[in-house]
Amino acid sequence: MAGRLDGRVAIVTGGGGGLAEGICGRLSRSGAAVVCADVSLEKAGRVAGLVSEGGGRSLAVEVDVSDKGSVEGVVERVVEEFGGVDVLVNNAAIYPRRAWTEIEEEEWDRVMAVNLKGYFLCARAVYPHMKERGGSIVNVSSITFFVGWTLLMDYVASKGGIVGFTRTLAREIGPDGINVNAIAPGAFPTDAEKIHPDQEGYNRWVLEQQSIKRRGTPDDVGNLVAFLASEEASFISGQTIGIDGGWMMR
């Protein structure tokens, strides 16, 4: 895949998380300069450091994707430093786990602000720059939207909203040479899984659901994102692609 994204600039939100390691690493190995954007500058710096150690060009930035000013400030910095934006990977998310009757209104609003509004704000901020030269947006949804998931109602609702957002945005900006797709990851062994109290039991359960009897890796996700960001996928838009080891089939 090396060289597919030579000369391009990619912003990855949630850029300090487990999936981001695979996404940022693969984008870099495909030739892109990668901006790891996260609410935690320390975490973003760790992933950016891994990219740099691999010989790639990277930048770590702190961003609150739910805040318009924060998002626009980051995009301005990226354009100033790298000359533009070609790829946006909307990956930032929060996922409090509790019964739906225990979700407070403020918590619901916060999940929607980060997981859904944040995608909108980031897309709006990069659009003027992508409009000049085309580009790709990849939104990270989740298998949970398609199968339903107890104790994560606000998270699942936000991930469903991302599918609708992806389809509509693809219609809106396709004429500008920008393709927009979503991916729906299954269960991956990252820090996000620590919300489950029985880790060993959860691991066994995941493997029972999957057709492929191994756990997925962040690199699996990175491979798909890099493809969707490449010229080879330029005629694919408005789609939601599952990456879950053959768990959900539709």
Asked whether residue 192 carries a pLDDT value surpassing 90, the answer given is: no
Residue with tokens 């994204």: 5
Q: Which residue(s) pair with 62 in the sheet?
A: 38
Whether 1 is in a domain gets the answer no
3-class secondary-structure state, position 175: helix
Whether 249 is in a domain gets the answer no
Radius of gyration from C-alpha coordinates of the chain? 17
pLDDT of residue 186: 87
| Confidence grade of residue 193 (pLDDT, cut at 50, 70, 90) | low
- Over residues 55-70, the mean pLDDT reads 98
Range of the domain at 194: 9-243
Distance between alpha carbon 238 and the CA centroid of its chain, in Å? 15
How many Cα atoms are found within 13 Å in the side-chain-facing hemisphere of 59?
A: 17
- Over residues 148-170, the mean pLDDT reads 97
Minimal CA–CA distance to 163: which of 137, 142, 187, 186?
142
Asked whether residue 224 carries a pLDDT value surpassing 70, the answer given is: yes
| Confidence grade of residue 9 (pLDDT, cut at 50, 70, 90) | very high
| Confidence grade of residue 216 (pLDDT, cut at 50, 70, 90) | confident
pTM: 0.94
**Residue 30 in tokens:** 């495909």
Whether 130 is in a domain gets the answer yes
Query: Phi/psi of residue 26, each to 5°?
Result: -70, -40
- Over residues 32-36, the mean pLDDT reads 98
**Residue 100 in tokens:** 């739906």
Hey, how many other C-beta atoms are within 10 angstroms of the C-beta on 170? 19
pLDDT of residue 172: 98
Whether 71 is in a domain gets the answer yes
221: CATH: 3.40.50.720
| Confidence grade of residue 188 (pLDDT, cut at 50, 70, 90) | confident
Cα(226)–Cα(134) distance, rounded to whole angstroms?
16
Whether 3 is in a domain gets the answer no
pLDDT of residue 164: 98
pLDDT of residue 2: 45
Whether 248 is in a domain gets the answer no
| Confidence grade of residue 196 (pLDDT, cut at 50, 70, 90) | low
The catalytically annotated residue of 95, 119, 155, 202 is 155
Whether 125 is in a domain gets the answer yes
**Are the CB atoms for 85 and 61 separated by under 8 Å?**
no
Domains held by the chain: number: 1
What percentage of the chain reaches a pLDDT higher than 70? Answer: 95
Rounding to the nearest 10 degrees, give the CA dihedral for residues 20, 223, 169, 7.
90
Cα(196)–Cα(97) distance, rounded to whole angstroms?
9
- Any catalytic annotation for residue 155? yes
Whether 186 is in a domain gets the answer yes
